[in-house]
Amino acid sequence: MPPRPYVVLSCATSADGYLDDASPQRLILSGPADLDRVDEVRAGCDAILVGAQTVRQDNPRLLIRDPRRSARRAARGLPAHPARVTLTATGDLDPQARFFAPGALRLVYCATPALGRARARLGDSAVLIDAGDPLSLDFMLTDLAERSMARVLVEGGAQVLGEFLTRDLADELTLAVAPFFVAAPAAPRLNLPASAPAPASAPAPAPASAPALAANPDPVANPDSPASPMTLAEVSRVGEVGLLRYLLGPGGPEHRYLRWAVELSRLCPPSDSAFSVGAVIVGEDGEVLATGFSREQEDHDHAEEVALRKLAAGKRGPADPRLRHATLYSSLVPCGARASRPLTCVQHIVAAGIPRVVFAWREPPLFTDGEGAEQLRAADVAVTEVPELAGRARAINAHLVGSGA
Ligand SMILES: NC(=O)c1ccc[n+]([C@@H]2O[C@H](COP(=O)([O-])OP(=O)(O)OC[C@H]3O[C@@H](n4cnc5c(N)ncnc54)[C@H](OP(=O)(O)O)[C@@H]3O)[C@@H](O)[C@H]2O)c1
């Protein structure tokens, strides 16, 4: 069974947190630069999911706009556009909606009681899937994984985003914050359950290096509360929009950075003679210093090497002092032997002075002896292995090592 897809939630909000205004017309919250950013994000996904109300109300196309991005997907053997996915309890969908236009696979997850109605309305304009009574998001994600949808972008609306957040089913949340207010209490905002009253002395937010948090024990409570905040991974400006990217999901910051590193490995140009690996370097204060993935810049690149090279090219140069207190997260243990270049990743890490490495998957003895963890420890680098995430890292390399355990 493939792991559930990596789920990215994405929405644009006003500065006071609204996803729309209360008028019948759709409020445009993003500018051209942000729409182009979303287009790039879409191009990196296997499926785009929106709620049935967004299909009815906004009638989105859910296509990649830039033909060069579609062409790049096609060159990698992918469909030109990601699949379009929606979910419904009523089956009340119009086959004339743009969602059902040709050009991309259409999947409709429907609660069992509404299947007949949905089938009668939609005919063969979409693949209709019985998702249980009540509709099960877990079933939907498992089914998407079985259909080779490894990365799913959830673009709204308020109810669907709220459900993914509340049920702790998302790995990232991207908020594009527009530079204006909406101030319309009837307009939609992220639909989260009301918080329980805060305890008299709420615990301080966990630092980036905090120990792993348990998975949300109560799926109806908001897991990303002040006591267990999301992990801020990016703050940037895109045109007039402020972009905030958070990492979410169980395991706290440690597992979130590592899941992201694993996810980055999906971006690697394919190779029959080298692993696909992702790496993230995080400073002491939780700031993401650099990311990298195998073959990102040159043919023989290793992920850790690329991330360190990017940092060395920055204004602080190769001896960036932040590295002395940083943690390097890698989907695969850093290499301790290498044929393609003179320096191993272990040597790069030790030379950079990075004191701590966290990895998911111990290298099988396919290309080298895989003793990177022991070499790092011998060089006084603290090493943490997170075997719970090894299956994800391995699945991305199934073409090299098979899909078995
Ligand atoms: N700013 C942004 O980035 C952004 C993005 C998208 C949308 N929006 C806005 O968000 C608003 C729409 O949001 P919304 O909350 O009203 O609707 P929504 O989340 O788009 O869709 C809700 C509908 O999805 C189906 N659904 C959701 N969860 C389900 C479950 N667990 N089981 C079965 N069906 C389920 C139901 O469809 P049925 O009713 O068919 O049963 C439900 O009514 C619009 O104003 C839109 O413009 C904003």
Note the pLDDT tens digit of each residue in 340-364: 888 999 999 999 999 999 999 997 7
- Cα 87 to ligand 1 centroid, rounded to whole Å: 9
- pLDDT (tens digit per residue) in 56-114: 999 999 999 999 999 999 998 999 999 999 999 999 999 999 999 999 999 999 999 99
User: Could you tell me the fold of the domain covering 252-401?
Assistant: Cytidine Deaminase; domain 2 (3.40.140)
Atom of ligand 1 nearest to the CA of 10: 3
Arithmetic mean of pLDDT, 379-391: 96
Q: pLDDT-based confidence at 319, cuts 50/70/90?
A: confident
Q: Would the CB of 191 count as within 6 Å of ligand 1? A: yes
Mean pLDDT of the region 378-386: 97
Q: Closest Cα to atom 21, ligand 1: which residue?
A: 51
Q: What is the 3-state secondary structure (H, E, C) of the chain?
A: CCCCCEEEEEEEECCCCECCCCCCCCCCCCCHHHHHHHHHHHHCCCEEEEEHHHHHHHCCCCCCCCHHHHHHHHHCCCCCCCEEEEEECCCCCCCCCHHHCCCCCEEEEECHHHHHHHHHHHCCCCEEEECCCCCCHHHHHHHHHHCCCCEEEECCCHHHHHHHHHCCCCCEEEEEECCCCCCCCCCCECCCCCCCCCCCCCCCCCCCCCCCCCCCCCCCCCCCCCCCCCEEEEEEEECCEEEEEEECCCCHHHHHHHHHHHHHHHHCCCCCCCCCCEEEEECCCCCEEEEEECCCCCCCCCHHHHHHHHHHCCCCCCCCHHHHHCEEEEEECCCCCCCCCCCCHHHHHHHHCCCEEEEEECCCCCCCCCCHHHHHHHCCCEEEECHHHHHHHHHCCHHHHCCCC
Ligand 1: centre distance to CA 18 (Å) = 14
Residue 239: the pLDDT is 96
What confidence category does residue 200 fall into, taking pLDDT thresholds of 50, 70 and 90? low
Q: Whose CA is nearest to atom 11 of ligand 1?
A: 157
Lowest-confidence range among 55-69, 172-186, 216-230? 216-230
- Measured from the CB, is residue 162 less than 6 Å from ligand 1? no
Which atom of ligand 1 lies at the shortest distance from residue 160's CA? Answer: 19
**Ligand 1 pocket, 57 CB below 6 A?**
yes
| pLDDT tens sequence across 24-49 | 999 999 999 999 999 999 999 999 99
Task: Write out the residue limits of the CATH 3.40.140.10 domain(s) in the chain.
Answer: 252-401
More confident residue, 365 or 180: 180
Distance 364 CA to ligand 1 centre (A): 44
Q: CATH number of the domain at 6-194+206-247, out of 3.40.50.1220, 3.40.430.10, 3.30.10.20, 3.30.70.60?
A: 3.40.430.10
Cβ of 336 less than 6 Å from ligand 1: no
Q: What residues does CATH 3.40.430.10 cover in the chain?
A: 6-194+206-247
What is the whole-number distance in angstroms between the Cα of residue 214 and the centre of ligand 1? 29
User: Among 37-46, 166-175, 215-224, which is the least confidently predicted range?
Assistant: 215-224
pTM of the model: 0.91
